[in-house]
Structure 1
Amino acid sequence: MTDTDVIVVGAGPTGLMLAAELRLAGVGVVVLERRPRINEVAKAGGLGGQILHVLRYRGLLERFEAASGRPRPTPQFPFGGLHVDFTRLAEPPMEALLLPQPRIEAVLEEYVRECGADVRRGHEVLGLDEDPAEVSVDVRGPDGAHRVSARYVVGCDGVRSRVRDLAGIAFTGVSYPEVNRLAHVTRPPSVTLREDGDYEAPGIGLLRSGYTQTDHGMFAIASMTPDELTVYTSEEDPDTYDDEIPMTVTELADSIRRVLGADLPLGEPITMTRFTYHARHAERYRAGRILLAGDAAHRFPAGGVAVNAGMLDAVNLGWKLAADVAGWAPTGLVDTYHDERHRAGARTLMHTQAQVALRRGADPAAEALRELLSELLLDEDPVRRIGRLIAGSDVTHPTPGLDQHPLVGTFAPDLPLRTAEGTTTVATLMHTARPVLLDLADREALRETARGWQDRVEIVTARTDPRPADALLIRPDAHIAWATDVGEPHDTAGPALRDALTYWFG
């Protein structure tokens, strides 16, 4: 008999988000983390993109906003050495919340412990044994070596994943030679933020907001709030560094001097991190009862996407493992995790590698490409498309082999709803992470079709104006699994609903 249902290896944002999703579904979960405490080196400076919407759909976003306590930054984001300005769009496709990664992990860990997850710090995975029914994990913890078994093991243990190596999953790709340093610091009085968004600094003069390429690398400066500076350098640096040792203001100032050829006054550090870029993708996200998520499955050569992608992996995987543990998962459901998120990872890898070409090119052709893209980014449609790419919100999950309504596979819109019990929203319905059949046209026949699944699918009748469809079948990860057009007859809508219910929910 197994000790728990699922073992999650790694207590970073991906592993903790997965543990939360599993606990919402009532699944037993043990989280094994080799570090005895949260790593205070802030590898990420916040949350951004589609995961913000997912957290709102889980009722968790307010926790992170309270932990941040800072205003949302202006929706302007880097893309391959360019700045993409979303401020002209009524609904920016990309937004961010400023919160250093140690605080992200602290908020998530507090939540998953409230949900009943068993988080064990100071427990390092040494080995794995898998048979057709379970996986046994050899662990070295504070009290010595021991073994834990589960139905599944998920490696959320980062770029040097022990789980991935033990499972024999290839992690191919390339590494880039630059060392990147990124910091949020308070803006010293001697650095003036001009009305046009540029800067004046003593000994330097005018500093353009955004990216500046020099003979020694790349420098960037911007302000997410008027009292702060975001400063970035990228340079080929022969010195090695230890991920576990935090970057200092002195180290950043030295890098600015090398790249920019001048000293820039810096205020007090808020968050600081250094990193190198890699483009790597796991050959597969599943090997039997062993799965990968987050940095263990993918590395992207651009900032601002890794935490978002990893936590979205977790939300996609959690309900599928829970369905298998509960015994109602249809054949192949867990495999759809690889199909969907590997495709999403490949898309993120595509646009982040395109950013490498944009920022590394130093010849006239590269300058022409940057100039052309800068012109395109003056138009709303390209800006919106790039924003959805960065946010990871352009990824859809269609149902293979079934007729596709245009909404199928997309993230469910947060419709305002009127029910017999009062008003609510789609986001509120998704707080429990259960599938929902949302009847928007009071179609009793469709509700009757779904009755056989009511032990695992919530059936909700509501009104909204205007309605995008007569009914929506929404997966626990808030993607639409099926939809029917307004007025579509039951002799076609009913069988299609039954097929979708069977495909996704057994």
Structure 2
Amino acid sequence: MDEVIIVGAGPVGLMLACELALAGVRPTVLDKRPEISDLPRANGVGGQIVRMLDYRGLLERFAEGSPFAGRPPGFPFGSVPLRFAGLDDIPLRMVMIQQPRMERLLSERAAELGVEVVRGTPVRGLTQDDDGVTLDLPGRRLRAHCAVGCDGGHSLVRERLGIAFPGTTDDEVLLLGHFRTGQVTGLFEQSRVMGLEPGWNHTPHGRLLLTSLQPGVHIVGVREKGAAGPVTLAGFQAAIRRVIGADLPLGEPIWLSSTVTQARLAERYRSGRVFLAGDAAHLFPAGGSALNVGLMDAVNLGWKLAAVLTGRAPVRLLDTYETERRPVGVRTLTHTRAQAALERLTGEDGTALRDLLTEVFAFEQPARHLANLLDGSDTRSGTPSKGAGEGVPAGEPGGGAGGVVAGGAAGRGGVVGADLVGRLVPDLQLSTGDGPTRVAELMRDGRPLLLDLGGGATLDGDWIRVVRARCDDPPADTLLIRPDGQVAWTGTAGLREAAAEWLQSV
């Protein structure tokens, strides 16, 4: 019997496989596609997952050859521009990388960790009992202790579990194309002559997107009423004419696609031994957020599932996957719906609203708040059960707490002390007996970390790694850090109880 079977070898399924393997569990990944698709469904990652990639030693691979990696100078919130000039302390980071390359890099990492990825193998059915999960494949069956559906918005796993997926489907179709042109800026020069600008352009007949992520390649999008279907170059050009009343010099098409955006959230992320992650659990109407949130789903679930299967943690730890991650889905659905509404609104009313919000977003506090919102750092994993102050746990694995608490970082420089609990640990620069290092380098092995910055703390056992270090302006004298980078506890009072609750067998 397999330990875990992951259905879907997209970025979320592969990330989950890597997290499980890093923690000593060897999953099997099944994917109905015979090979990795060349369609760049996503063009990058941003927010907390960028730091997690660094914490797993993957960021350099992702950033190599990227047209952009780092803190963005700005970002569109819907169709309203955000500018981050002068906000050097915001946590938001981005890496431009198209999905095919992302999948190949994660596949390489999975292979390094001994993960088996079986392609060209569709799952036909799924059932579970008290002892395990049965998956029906063409001509055979597989059994596993647990299974995870990372099989997208049309998830068969979710369907077989009978989990509702309520939400809305847009009445517009988005035609999206990547075009190669010999002139790096030719399209934008031409568009300015036509009165268009990079980003979303609104007309009475629809919207046109113009952007570029790499020299010589332009991304053009057209939104109008209609339904998704096969796209031809002639059909794409006709849609542009309907929306702006003129032709654009598109260049050579690399790929064309059509999609209808949806806003949906699974009513549950778990049924018995089976879990949902990524698009199988949520669909967001604003681009980019789904992948960022889905990859963080994988990081959250991976260590918990591995800890239970290896006997390092009680089964009730698995309850915290849904109580922590589903509220993140709710939060993301809220702000992506707001972005979609801003992008959809046309006419003079839409122009007036976007112009006013552009003025508001130019102020520091709104820009900072939205930067944290897009990053995901405006929320805390778990509902603190003991109030503010040191010794506050990030949720209660056995008590039904959990979820996320919305709230901006304390002060301009971020959070300190107990305010770190439930948040992604900052990448502190450290001095140890072995020389200089940083938190990211200490998190590479995927183990929980007790970082003693002067508190003299210690814990028994060999799973939690204890590191004694010094740093400038330490946020607390002791940090207990979960394998997913979330701070579980600060300070020494109650430390052993927190470790036993979160990280060890009881």
Shift of 1:267: 3.4
- In structure 2, list runs of 5 or more residues that go unmatched: 393-417
Match of 2:225 in 1: 236
1:217 partnered with 2:217: no
Q: How does 1:93-104 map to 2 (within 5 A)?
A: 93-104=91-102
Match of 1:490 in 2: none
Cα distance in 1 between the residues matched to 2:485 and 2:440? 8
1:415 to 418, 422, 428: 428
Cα distance in 1 between the residues matched to 2:289 and 2:166? 19
Q: What SS class does the counterpart of residue 262 from structure 2 fall into?
A: strand
Match of 2:335 in 1: 351
Contact 1:281–1:298 (8 Å) recurs in 2: yes
Match of 1:157 in 2: 151
Listed one character per residue, the Cα deviations across residues 307-351 of structure 1 (whole Å, up to 9, x for unaligned) are 111111000000000011011213521010001110101000000
Which residue identity does 1:19 align to in structure 2?
Answer: A
Q: What SS class does the counterpart of residue 476 from structure 1 fall into?
A: coil
Contact 1:440–1:471 (8 Å) recurs in 2: yes
Match of 2:381 in 1: 397
Q: How does 1:279-294 map to 2 (within 5 A)?
A: 279-294=263-278
The 1:92–1:152 alpha-carbon spacing in structure 2 relative to 1, beyond 3 Å, is: same
1:118 partnered with 2:116: yes
Listed one character per residue, the Cα deviations across residues 152-209 of structure 1 (whole Å, up to 9, x for unaligned) are 100000011000001111101110011113344455549558xxxxx43179533233
Cα distance in 2 between the residues matched to 1:293 and 1:190? 38
Which residue identity does 1:35 align to in structure 2?
Answer: R
Shift of 1:149: 1.1
Which residue identity does 1:412 align to in structure 2?
Answer: V
Q: How does 1:9-48 map to 2 (within 5 A)?
A: 9-48=7-46
Match of 1:322 in 2: 306
TM-score (norm 1): 0.88
Shift of 1:133: 2.2
Contact 1:399–1:481 (8 Å) recurs in 2: no
Listed one character per residue, the Cα deviations across residues 256-300 of structure 1 (whole Å, up to 9, x for unaligned) are 222111111123456654321100000010000010000000000
Shift of 1:224: 4.3
Q: How does 1:255-274 map to 2 (within 5 A)?
A: 255-269=239-253, 273-274=257-258
Cα distance in 1 between the residues matched to 2:360 and 2:429? 35
Cα distance in 2 between the residues matched to 1:498 and 1:399? 20
Match of 2:344 in 1: 360
Match of 1:473 in 2: 480
Match of 2:189 in 1: 200
Which residue identity does 2:197 align to in structure 1?
Answer: R
Cα distance in 2 between the residues matched to 1:122 and 1:186? 31
Cα distance in 2 between the residues matched to 1:187 and 1:34? 34
Contact 1:330–1:502 (8 Å) recurs in 2: no
Listed one character per residue, the Cα deviations across residues 423-449 of structure 1 (whole Å, up to 9, x for unaligned) are 1110001101110000000x33x21xx
Match of 1:196 in 2: none
The 1:384–1:231 alpha-carbon spacing in structure 2 relative to 1, beyond 3 Å, is: farther
1:178 to 172, 181, 200: 172
- In structure 1, list runs of 5 or more residues that go unmatched: 194-198, 485-492
Cα distance in 2 between the residues matched to 1:250 and 1:93? 43
Match of 2:395 in 1: none
Q: What SS class does the counterpart of residue 140 from structure 2 fall into?
A: strand
Question: For structure 1, which segment, 463-472 or 98-107, has the greater mean C-alpha deviation from structure 2 after superposition?
Answer: 98-107
Which residue identity does 1:211 align to in structure 2?
Answer: W
CA-based RMSD: 2.2
TM-score (norm 2): 0.88
Which residue identity does 2:210 align to in structure 1?
Answer: I
Cα distance in 2 between the residues matched to 1:420 and 1:191? 52
Contact 2:7–2:29 (8 Å) recurs in 1: yes
Shift of 1:394: 2.3
Cα distance in 2 between the residues matched to 1:333 and 1:132? 18
